[in-house]
Amino acid sequence: MRGNPGRAEVTHNQTIAAPASVREVRIEKFPSAVVVLGEDRDDISLELKVTSRAYDDAEAKKTADQTKVLVDAAGEMLRLTLDYPAGGQQTAALTLKIPKRLSLRLDDKGGRLTVTHIAAVSINGVGRGETVISSIAGQVQANQRGSSITIADVGSLRLTTVNAGEVKVSGVRGDATLNFTGGEIRLEKLAGTVEVDSRSAEVRFEQMDDL
């Protein structure tokens, strides 16, 4: 049989300290999917679901067990890095439950992202995979390419999209700076100053007087 017929699934759970000095969580080597949920809590709950393929089930289980998240605390930032073993082929889905006071930063997004009820969000580099962001107290800064993005109920917004499938933005309480290349764009309930730079995109404004 060709390929890697062996398969295993493993779930890793971890609790990470989040002292008052920590203000930002940064995720590196983005897995296939990430969910970040802000809660009234003083630590971080981490769940990593790993699916691994290898030449047999035992080897797949071994490499799934070896897939982990490395934690590095550096001043105000807590860095989380996905660490994969050399053998087999792994995909990973990460769920974080973090204090609502923390911000999230991603420098390389390559999968689905869902974020809600935290202080701020920053997505730099090329953002690929569907993105859903909601109930953010402060600023959202995001780059999105090739997949849909939905943003709702945020403090302020700086958004750049390139050929995104569908872009939905609603409930920006402060200013919004928006740059669109291609795609279908729907904007509603933007309360602050709005700057839009659009090229080859279909942009619709709705319910702009509600806030």
The pLDDT assigned to 187 comes to 97
Quick one: DSSP state of residue 62? H
| pLDDT for the residue 36 | 98
Question: In this predicted model, what pLDDT tens digit does every residue of 14-32 receive, in sequence order?
Answer: 999 999 999 999 998 877 8
Band of pLDDT at residue 2, cut at 50, 70 and 90: low
Do the beta carbons of residue 108 and residue 122 sit within 8 Å? Answer: no
Report pLDDT digits (tens) over 115-144. Answer: 999 999 999 877 789 999 999 999 999 999
pLDDT at residue 207 tops 70? yes
Average pLDDT over residues 39-45: 98
pLDDT tens digits, residue range 55-68?
999 999 999 999 99
CA separation for the pair 84, 32 (Å, rounded): 13
Choose among 116, 109, 157: nearest CA to 130.
109
